[in-house]
Structure formats: structure tokens, C-alpha cells
Amino acid sequence: MGCILLKRQTTAPFYSYDITSLPFSIPAHSLDRETPLEAWSIRFLHKGLKSCSTMGLGNGFVTTQSKQPLVSFGVISDVQYADIPDGRSFLGVPRYYRHSLLVLQRAVQNWNEKKLKFAINFGDIIDGFCPKPESLNAISKVIDGFNSFDGPVHHMIGNHCLYNLPREKLLPLLNIPSRDNRAYYEFSPIPEFRFVVLDGYDISAIGWPKDHPNTIKAIDLLNEKNPNSDKNSPNGLVGPARRYLMFNGGVGPEQMEWLDRVLDDATKSNQKVVICCHLPLEPRASSEEAFLWNYDEVMEIIHRYDCVKVCLAGHEHLGGYHVDSHGVHHRVFEAALECPPGTDAFGCIDLFDDRLVLNGTDRMGSQEMVFS
């Protein structure tokens, strides 16, 4: 099944921002490169999907069985708040920097009304254009928004988070369980399921000190894979090789060993697993420029085990979806940042023993994912 697009024209005054004012560079090949000007889209990729009969879009009805879910939780991604005028991405896609905070506030209100057990933030809580003297204040506003939720919120870091603050300052603010400033961890909200949160910027040229081994590894990899002087430019790179950009990252050997142990333990404990990462782990659920550097190595570990049922991610603002060759569902969430005033992008997930049901709002489409 091909792409399904839902578009709405929008008109509003926007401001352009000078990329030279940033401490990093972003190419014209932005994460949302396929979105038309002054429009927003919901895109689902269904290649390889065995059955589409139970999937809904937008606020449409999603077919489910009548039994109660084991647990329900909230999801949101790429809030990218900044107290600056609305602008556009480098290909002209509208971005609503102040409104994104209202999207978060409405999300939390919705989650509280539904009495959800927990929520997951998929990263990028503030934007790279946020003036650096205002970073802490902006982050505090977003964290205050999350803290008004009546349950625990599980965070992960994204590239825009790291443009504003280094890991050692960011992780405590987000209450991310950390050892040596690593941002991967696990939690089990119910006995039947385990959630595994990956640190997609474990190997990264941003967030670590310049002389940190993980920074050096990242720079060496980028120099090997990307011949451009601007390491955020994919010019000349073809296909999946276009992912070797500085605003992406990788999972290091220690984290992969940890992941293997966690999945082995989950299998022995007869638990199903949901993987969460800011960066998508499946190229066919994302654009060529917006997924994990060593996704193949991580997925090789995941595919050793039957316990992993779903991989959830952010980063690619359009969203995406694909079922891989092992029956693992890959769902990438649409960005809260790109919601025109009065619209939203957040969801409530009902988790059953045999499926995951996403009930989305506006830009975030609803969807049912039946486990194989």
C-alpha cells in the first residue's frame, strides 16, 4: 500500500532564521523535505504490511477487540519549543515554536483526563534556534508542562536537546537514569511488558565534550562516510548512506551489549518488549537522512529475539510506519512543532497482549499494530 497524505493549507506570517547564527549547521535537506509549502501532511508507509484492514488514520475509528488494555500511556515527540516567532524549516515547512508548548499542555490535559498510567517523550523538547541564554528557561517551561502530568514521564534525548545543553546538565533535568552520562535505560510498567529506551546519540559529535572518546568516534565515522566539509550535508551521498549526518548518531558497543542482555532477560521472563529511540531504526519508516547510523547492527540484535514487537521513534517530523521482515512494527511519531495553531500531534496508546493501538490527534494518525 502506498503513501496516504492528508493535507491542510495554512496561512500565517513567518520569519526566516539565519542558519549562520547557529552553533551547528543544517542542510537544505531537512527532516521534513517532502512536505509541501504551507501544508502539513500525515504520512504512513505500508510497504510489507500484511493486512491494513484494522488500521485507521487521523481521528478515525481503529478496530479493536472489546477487552480492556493491559495499560494505557501517552506519547509526544519533537516539541522543539522556543520563545521566538514562528518560522519555517529550510525547505519552507511552517514551524510553530511557541504553539508547540500549547500542544504539550493540551496533551497532558488529555492524558490526565484519561487517567493514563505514564507518558513517553521521544526527545527534542526545545529547538536549536532557542537563544542559548534562554535554554534553561525554555527547558524549564517544557519540563513544567510534563510535570503537570499525574504520572511518571519517561524522556529520551534528541539532537536539538543536545544543541542547547550538554549531557551532564540535560540528563538530571529530565530525570533520565544515567551512568557515565549515558541515556539508555529500561522500565516495566506492567509484568507482561518491558520498555527499552535507547540512547541514539551514544556515539555523537554533539552533547559530549570535544575530547570524549564517543565524540572522536563519531567524527571519525563522519569523515569516513561523508566527504562533505559540512557534515550535516548529504550532498553526493546516495540512498541509506545519506544518514551519515552530524544531526544523527549511533549506539555504542557497550549499549548494544546491554541491549542484548536486556532482551535475553525479557525472553526468559516471558515479557514482550517495546523499543523506544529518538532516531528511527528502520529506513523504510523514515526519510533517508533521518535514522540511526548503525541501525543494522541494532536491528540484528533485536531480530535475535521474538520478544520485541514494536519500535517507536521521533526525529522524522512527517512520521512514518513499516513492518519489517521479522514482523516488528516501526512507528515514527509526527512532530508537535509543526502543528498549526488549534491543531495537535500527540497520542494515547492502549497496550494489549496481542497488539498496540495508537489513538492519535490531528496530525498524529491513529493506528492498530497487531503482533506477529
For the record, the C-alpha cell of 107 comes out as 496533551
Distance (Å) of CA 80 to CA 74, 122, 130, 268: 18, 11, 9, 39
Q: Any residues with CB less than 8 A from the CB of 164 and at least 6 apart, and which?
A: 126, 128, 130, 132, 135, 138, 139, 170
For the record, the C-alpha cell of 10 comes out as 495554512
> Which percentage of the chain shows pLDDT scores above 90?
80
Q: Can you list the alpha helix ranges (DSSP code H) found in the chain? A: 99-113, 135-147, 159-164, 167-173, 213-225, 253-268, 295-302
pLDDT digits 0-9 by tens, 186-214? 999 999 999 999 999 999 999 999 999 99
Domains and CATH numbers, the chain: 42-59+71-370 (3.60.21.10)
Grid cell 526525529 in the structure block, residue: 315
Could you give phi then psi for residue 173, rounded to 5 degrees? -65, -35
Measured distance CA(234)–CA(155) in Å, rounded: 29
Q: Any residues with CB less than 8 A from the CB of 339 and at least 6 apart, and which?
A: 40, 96, 99, 100, 103, 345, 362, 363
Mean pLDDT over each residue of the chain, to the nearest integer: 86
Q: Rounded to two decimals, what is the model's pTM? A: 0.85
> Which percentage of the chain shows pLDDT scores above 70?
82
For residue 231, pLDDT beyond 50: yes
Mean pLDDT of 26-46: 34
Most confident of 19-28, 46-55, 129-138: 129-138
pLDDT digits 0-9 by tens, 138-166? 999 999 999 999 999 999 999 999 999 99
- The whole-number pLDDT of residue 65 equals 53
- The whole-number pLDDT of residue 89 equals 82
Mean pLDDT of 34-50: 32
